[in-house]
Amino acid sequence: MSPLANHSFWKMNGAGNEIVVVDLRASTHVVTATEARAIAADERSRFDQMMVLHRPRTPGTRCYIRIYNTDGSEAGACGNGTRCVAWVLAEEDGAESFTVETVAGLLACRRVGPHAFSVDMGEPRFGWQDIPLAEEFRDTRAIELQIGPIDAPVLHSPSVVSMGNPHAVFWVDDPYAYDLPKIGPMLENHPIFPERANISLAAVKTRDHIVLWVWERGVGITRACGSAACAVLVSAARTKRTGRAATVSLPGGDLFVEWREDNHVIMTGPTELEHQGTFPPTLFATAA
């Protein structure tokens, strides 16, 4: 029987991004891809990302977090999920600021309201091997990639950046004018992205306001993606489309992102607890 049977979880959302938080700090169990898919398939615990807390690896941090996508793959970053974890930790002992760790590094979290948190998402990386891309591009402000007819591409010239996970940003006038559910999987799995990529369609409305629609790697369309909001702001500022801070509006709500002069990207937004529950043992009858 899986150690997850009858284990408790929090079903939350961060600006509409569906998040499940599971605390395994008292266990050595590492969730398998099969278990993650079984949890995601259940209506009460469905998630875009599941954030699994493990005991800390680095002194001074509250926990080590593994991040799972709906398809059971693991991700290096999840901004909305990290805010949800921050809420759980803050409720635990009333701490207003603390640090957590993911495979991408240490993330400082700070409570800025009863249900709002800021997360230091770290430094963006632009090297083609860091994103990663399959081949060298010297200038990742716009790489050569297009879909559609060669003389009339539907989408072309994305900015690419790693925020601990790979992002491609296509600049458009209206994100919702595109069939992202159809285009997203093609771009996510394009051979230029050896580890696949999160795909953003972004419209710069003013120097401090961006409208964003995201196809997430390993998930599909989501109502918000925090690391994508960071990737888009950094890419917009780098190409002089905006300044270094902006509100990013997604279908599920607004996130505020600032690319500080010390190169760290700070993302601020809401968290919401939907319900708490326990995993029915039947979920794991076939999952190993």
Pairing of strands 272-278, 253-259: unpaired
Cβ closest to ligand LBFN2T5F, residue 38 vs residue 119: 119
- For residue 139, give every residue at least 6 positions away whose Cβ sits within 8 Å of its Cβ, in sequence order, or none: none
Under the criterion CB under 6 A, does residue 218 sit at the interface with ligand LBFN2T5F?
yes
On whether the CB atoms of residues 96 and 87 are closer than 8 A, the answer is no
CA-nearest of 236, 215, 237, 233 to 224 is 215
Cβ closest to ligand LBFN2T5F, residue 87 vs residue 284: 87
Q: Is 49 annotated as a binding residue?
A: yes
Q: Is 189 annotated as a binding residue?
A: no
Size of the site for ligand LBFN2T5F (CB under 6 A): 20
Distance separating alpha carbons of residues 237 and 207, to the nearest angstrom: 9
The phi-psi region of residue 16 (left if phi > 0; otherwise alpha if psi is between -120 and 50; otherwise beta) is left
Please report how close the Cβ of residue 59 comes to ligand LBFN2T5F at its closest, in angstroms: 26
Q: Point out which span in 73-81, 89-97, 122-130, 175-183 binds ligand LBFN2T5F (CB under 6 A).
A: 73-81
Under the criterion CB under 6 A, does residue 184 sit at the interface with ligand LBFN2T5F?
no
Q: Give the type of residue at 216.
A: E
Find residue 117's DSSP bridge partners: 111, 269
Which positions from 154 through 173 interact with ligand LBFN2T5F, judged by CB under 6 A? 165
Under the criterion CB under 6 A, does residue 78 sit at the interface with ligand LBFN2T5F?
yes
Judge residue 195's burial from the number of C-beta atoms within 10 Å of its C-beta, 0-12 exposed, 13-18 middle, 19 or more buried: middle
Under the criterion CB under 6 A, does residue 225 sit at the interface with ligand LBFN2T5F?
yes
For the annotated catalytic residues, the residue numbers are 78, 225
Which residues are at the interface with ligand LBFN2T5F (CB under 6 A)?
17, 48-49, 69, 75, 77-81, 165, 198, 216-219, 222, 225-227
